[in-house]
Structure 1
């Protein structure tokens, strides 16, 4: 028997700090996986906005995380700031207090408020709560590549999304006080609790074929998919474990921690998958085509096409297993539930 899945639902959010809280943002993407089903994109409610707004997303999360289904949500912006920030501004090392203080100075959840309005002094008092671009949290050092939450205006920056997103963490926390914000509420969430974690898609995105998703879509997909896989295998429990030594864990409960980053920093070898457009990759075990057909194994049996070998495929929609030529895998549809050609015999 397989290990019991801890979370029945996983949600991945690729965040955006562009424009205002009410703006429809193409870069703000959400994917959700339920049970064993592959993650699907979640679109905003029907209305005038084509894409999610930050306000709309926060309201949707509050509605969705009602405690009925154990859920883990990964969001890719910083949840807190480096200890140097707390020291410079004389703040207690306490995350709930940090949220209140930050929102008082950076009201980026206000209507018609851009992050840059606070940066230039038009709104709020950002000048009184500033940090240096070279300051990094321990967890950012642990990943080896994550940028500082104060490093604005560069490629791959998370500074705007962090400064735009933190007030909405407070909003969600106030609306759903039973949610576990990891690791601030503890490193080991209680069984059955829904959890919100800080994610860094770069740790996981290369483990899954991008198919026809945009980069923003794929980052959200990868978060939801990794959380889903790790919940089923038990790897998520290991990722929840507090880093050692204790001093690092204590700092992490103030600065926040990126899930699956490790201390001391190590260079992890992560499985890379060649683009699904490259024929060689489509026969690799674990490859899933855009019709949700996964390669399980190479059988070694001859196919019915020239010089082809049979592969065992599995449909992620209905669970059917069948044989197919290697040359057909990239476009194969399930013969049981999607009108695909009959599967080939496996002996």
Structure 2
């Protein structure tokens, strides 16, 4: 197996960036399949909610442990539709991150506060190509969506992606922006959509944590899927995304990104 640990992160854009919420859950799973919900440092027993700042610090510190190769899945959009790049003259994903943190200070303030100052979007239902390949993925710009919304978590999470990219660029491969086939010696972080995996594991995983809240279950299915794909040797094929055309792969790796597992 390629990785030493699989981490599923169920994310949320709720509230202040340094305030814990039960909507943010982390699950770790090792190669034999043992898994656990993780509590942030200093939390009381059975307190599993995280703040976004704590998630960043945890992932950063885990990636600095060079003796472990991590596969990390997170459930918010890592980028915007390609039209946004053209409109703002952005050449690649790193340029988007830098542009975003200049317009959205969600590393310091709630998304709701930043929305009042940031420019709006011309089409609140715009989708990336990877989202059109699913039946239910929502636009990262749709703040009015009440069920399955990803807008708040995306806008809250992108500045932390910028910070993570700056802190551990030499040890972390962000898929697919750093390439479709991650080097053997690096940890990998990818966007994953747990709604695509949930029923599969709920129905067929013997150790599915039925008594956990849904946010924790979503973190579990991300970690479980990454481990299962690595164990049966198919994760490399998902990384390569060979069902996409060269044009689609070029757009995804340069600008829009891709949801791991969508084909």
TM-score norm. by structure 2 comes to: 0.91
Could you tell me which residue of structure 1 aligns to residue 150 of structure 2?
Answer: 158
Structure 2 CA distance for aligned equivalents of residues 42 and 131 of structure 1: 39
Count how many residue pairs are aligned between Structure 1 and Structure 2.
Answer: 250
Structure 1 position 229 matched with structure 2 position 221: no
For 1:280-299, list aligned pairs within 5 A: none
2:194 aligned to 201, 219, 222, which one? Answer: 201
Structure 2 CA distance for aligned equivalents of residues 162 and 89 of structure 1: 19
SS of the residue aligned with 1:191?
coil
Could you tell me which residue of structure 2 aligns to residue 71 of structure 1?
Answer: 70
Structure 1 CA distance for aligned equivalents of residues 233 and 122 of structure 2: 37
Asked if structure 2 preserves the Cα contact closer than 8 Å seen for 1:77 and 1:165, the reply is: yes
Could you tell me which residue of structure 1 aligns to residue 121 of structure 2?
Answer: 130
SS of the residue aligned with 2:67?
coil
TM-score norm. by structure 1 comes to: 0.70
Structure 1 CA distance for aligned equivalents of residues 164 and 18 of structure 2: 17
Larger Rg: 1
1:106 aligned to 104, 107, 128, which one? Answer: 104
Asked if structure 1 preserves the Cα contact closer than 8 Å seen for 2:33 and 2:227, the reply is: no
Could you tell me which residue of structure 1 aligns to residue 9 of structure 2?
Answer: 13
Asked if structure 2 preserves the Cα contact closer than 8 Å seen for 1:78 and 1:149, the reply is: yes
CA apart distance, 1:70:
0.9
Instruction: Flag the structure with higher helix content.
Output: 2
CA apart distance, 1:131:
4.8
Q: 1:187 to 1:131 in 2, by over 3 A?
A: farther
CA apart distance, 1:223:
0.2
CA apart distance, 1:39:
2.0
Tell which has more relative contact order, 1 or 2 (C-alpha 8 A, sep 6+): 2
CA apart distance, 1:47:
4.3
CA apart distance, 1:88:
2.2
Structure 2 CA distance for aligned equivalents of residues 191 and 14 of structure 1: 26
Between stretches 75-84 and 207-216, larger displacement belongs to 207-216
Asked if structure 2 preserves the Cα contact closer than 8 Å seen for 1:38 and 1:225, the reply is: no
Structure 2 CA distance for aligned equivalents of residues 106 and 83 of structure 1: 19
Q: 1:22 to 1:48 in 2, by over 3 A?
A: farther
Could you tell me which residue of structure 1 aligns to residue 260 of structure 2?
Answer: 259
